[in-house]
């Protein structure tokens, strides 16, 4: 029989340390939904999603009940809509976003990702229409998430797309101002976007993916934090070892859930995304893990090194526990969704510049950050360009999910509620980047030798 | 299906008797029991087989958790696989 202390340890992780499976995400290809009439495209999309994902929520709930592990979210990701919808000659793709929203409602999922375009080297006509539709699509739907890939290591940075996304983010904030700019919380600008990410808002079903697939995102910052309580004052070797062992356990649980969901839905299992995804709940914070390593407040000197260790140890522990690892895999640092990050910003310890440095060593990028409503589109574009450069040069995924808080300024707070949390408005540099952004064109792909 | 029942709470007389009769009344076979009392806390883990029980797993889970509320104990049932996955290589 199992060792009693192991059983109790698992139960403590679930009850007291917020261990959960963060998301089961079903990826669905919509490549066969093309048609020259936008109404037919929308109908085909709705029909296919509701047919394939009909049992997703029910299966997730059954697995939760049998294993006693909370499965927080059930979600759907689809082929980037620009690829599907450009077959029709509609002036905009808002009707398609509404079809996605209706499908999500019917399936009972809490987000559907893939109102997306991949424009790292340039725009097709469909890409342009999709991007122009984003503000209205996000304002008039509840569950739809959008993403745009503006750069890759192989193609460089599409600065025309970077400039455009600054304006689109501002417009989205204006159209959703009554809900604190909530639309921007559902819009991600990527460099090196991955095709199998199960986490929102950036999930989409890449073109190299099968007809449908199950990807699972595990979490567990609270479990890592609790494990580090036994490492007080010990050298970093012990810290790294403890995080690895903990990540292994968390991932094994995710792997089991993924295999079970795949079997019951009769959909192939894709990847486990080994991400430490915080929530606004106390005790489920990535910032508190960094502080546990000996930093008075997250954001002070040493934070980047602490995060680098954490991110690497999570991957090392998780890789052995799962047959296929993918997605974003690492530590997330979304400000509004992490109780410790929020506290660090309020204390003045964590700035946008430090967060940018942190994104060099962890998964993803500047995430869920509120900036003053008066921030110009060019400044937002310049923030995106900086983040894309980090991703492109370091051959990693980076992203920007930024919320210009309409009518608010530094010191104010934007409340989103739920998993999206609350975001303290952070200052941006006041000096203009407008002439830099106005140049347009492309920043060439970087060298991959002579690395120093 | 093999599952693990865990019971955690303040110790008193008759906990094991009451839970074992509840399990028996639903045709659940107990394969192994381990229990300790740490300070005043009673902790019991049982390996059970639910194959003969007419109740579906989620109903069983609801029955046990309701019993837990009545007895002021934390009682739950989980499939055994989850513990193996997390603690054995």
Collect the ranges in chain A with pLDDT lower than 50: none
Q: Which of A9, A68, A253 sits opposite B85 (nearest CB)?
A: A253
CATH of domain A216-440: 3.20.70.20
Antiparallel, parallel or unpaired: β B2-10 and B41-49: antiparallel
Mutate to test the interface with B, among A3, A4, A7 (most CBs of B within 10 A): A7
Of how many residues is chain A composed? 452
DSSP E strands, A308-434: 330-331, 366-372, 398-405, 413-415, 422-424
What residues contact A353, with CB distance under 8 A and at least 6 apart? none
B37 versus A433: the higher-pLDDT residue is: A433
pLDDT per residue as tens digits for the range A259-298: 999 999 999 999 999 889 898 888 899 999 999 999 999 9
What's the confidence (pLDDT) of residue A2? 74
Domain with CATH 3.20.70.20 in chain A: 25-191, 216-440
What is each CA distance from B47 to A3, A373, B7, B50, B76, in whole angstroms? 11, 58, 12, 10, 12
Cβ proximity of A269 and A255 under 8 Å: no
Q: Does B40 touch chain A (CB under 8 A)?
A: no
Q: How far is CA B58 from the centre of its chain?
A: 14
Reported in sequence order, the residue ranges of A192-337 that DSSP labels E, i.e. its strands, are 212-218, 269-276, 330-331
CATH number of B2-87: 3.30.70.260
Q: What is the mean pLDDT of residues B36-42?
A: 83
The 10s digit of each residue's pLDDT in A94-117 is 999 999 999 999 999 999 999 999
Phi, psi of A350 (to 5 degrees): -120, 120
Instruction: Pick B40 or A144 by higher pLDDT.
Output: A144
Mutate to test the interface with B, among A67, A223, A258 (most CBs of B within 10 A): A67
Strand, coil or helix: A396? coil
At a CB cut-off of 8 Å and minimum separation 6, what does A181 contact?
A172, A173, A370, A403, A404, A405, A406, A414
Segment 242-261 of chain A within 8 Å of chain B by CB: 249, 252-253, 255-256
List alpha helices for A176-270, DSSP H: 221-228, 236-265
pLDDT of residue A16: 82
A288 in helix, strand or coil?
helix
pLDDT of the residue at A1: 61
**Residue A199 burial (CB < 10 Å; 0-12/13-18/19+)?**
buried
CA atoms within 13 A on the CB side of A74: 23
Give the pLDDT of residue A15: 85
Residues 6+ apart with CB under 8 A from A7: B4, B6, B45, B83
* ipTM summary value: 0.87
Domain extents for chain B? Answer: 2-87
Residues 60-89 on A with a CB inside 8 Å of B are 62, 65-69
pLDDT at residue number A17: 86
The topology (CATH level 3) of A25-191 is Anaerobic Ribonucleotide-triphosphate Reductase Large Chain (3.20.70)
pLDDT of residue A227: 92
- CA angle in degrees (0–180, nearest 5) for A115-A30-A206: 65
Q: How far apart are CA A412 and CA A68, in angstroms?
A: 40
Q: How far is B85 from chain A (nearest CA, A)?
A: 6
């Amino acid at each position: 029989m199992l060792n009693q202390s192991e059983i109790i340890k698992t139960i403590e992780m679930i009850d007291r340390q917020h261990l959960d499976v963060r998301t089961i995400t079903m990826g669905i290809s919509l490549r066969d939904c093309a048609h020259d009439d936008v109404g037919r495209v929308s109908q085909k999309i709705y029909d296919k999603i509701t047919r394939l994902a009909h049992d997703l929520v029910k299966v997730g709930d059954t697995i939760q009940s049998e294993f006693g592990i909370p499965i927080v979210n059930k979600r759907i990701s689809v082929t980037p809509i620009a690829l599907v919808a450009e077959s029709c000659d509609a002036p905009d793709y808002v009707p398609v976003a509404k079809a996605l929203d209706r499908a999500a409602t019917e399936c009972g999922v809490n987000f559907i990702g893939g109102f997306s375009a991949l424009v790292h080297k340039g725009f097709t006509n469909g890409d342009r229409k999709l991007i122009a539709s984003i503000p209205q699509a996000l304002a008039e739907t509840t569950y739809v998430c959008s993403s745009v890939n503006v750069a890759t290591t192989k193609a460089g940075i599409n600065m025309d797309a970077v400039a455009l996304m600054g304006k689109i983010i501002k417009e989205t904030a204006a159209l959703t101002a009554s809900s604190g700019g909530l639309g921007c919380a559902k819009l991600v600008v990527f460099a090196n976007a991955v095709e199998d990410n199960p986490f929102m808002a950036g999930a989409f079903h890449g073109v190299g993916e099968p007809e449908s697939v199950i990807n699972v995102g595990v979490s567990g910052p609270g479990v890592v934090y609790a494990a580090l309580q036994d490492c007080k004052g010990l050298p970093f070797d012990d810290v790294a070892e403890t995080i690895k062992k903990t990540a292994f356990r968390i991932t094994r649980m995710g792997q089991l859930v993924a295999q079970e969901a795949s079997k019951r839905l009769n959909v192939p299992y894709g990847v486990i995304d080994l991400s430490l995804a915080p929530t606004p709940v106390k005790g489920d914070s990535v910032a508190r893990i960094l502080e546990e390593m000996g930093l008075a407040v997250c954001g002070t000197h040493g934070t980047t090194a602490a995060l680098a260790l954490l991110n690497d140890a999570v991957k090392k522990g998780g890789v052995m526990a799962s047959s296929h690892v993918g997605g974003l895999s690492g530590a997330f640092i979304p400000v509004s969704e992490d109780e410790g990050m929020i506290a660090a910003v309020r204390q003045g310890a964590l700035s946008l510049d430090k967060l940018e440095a942190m994104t060099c060593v962890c998964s993803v990028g500047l995430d869920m950050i509120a900036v003053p409503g008066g921030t110009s589109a060019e400044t937002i574009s310049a923030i995106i360009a900086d983040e894309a450069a980090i991703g492109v040069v370091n051959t990693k995924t980076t992203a920007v999910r930024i919320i210009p808080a309409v009518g608010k300024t530094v010191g104010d707070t934007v409340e989103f509620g739920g998993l999206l949390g609350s975001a303290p408005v952070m200052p941006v540099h006041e000096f203009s980047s407008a002439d830099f952004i106005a140049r347009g064109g492309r920043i060439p792909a970087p060298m991959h030798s002579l690395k120093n | 299906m093999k599952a693990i029942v865990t019971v955690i709470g303040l110790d008193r007389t008759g906990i094991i008797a009451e839970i074992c009769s509840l399990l028996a009344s639903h045709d659940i076979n107990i394969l192994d029991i381990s229990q300790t009392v740490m300070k005043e806390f009673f902790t019991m883990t049982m390996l059970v087989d639910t194959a003969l029980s007419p109740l579906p797993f989620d109903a069983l889970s609801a029955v046990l958790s309701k019993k837990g509320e009545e007895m002021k104990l934390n009682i739950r049932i989980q499939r055994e696989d989850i513990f193996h996955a997390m603690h054995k290589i």
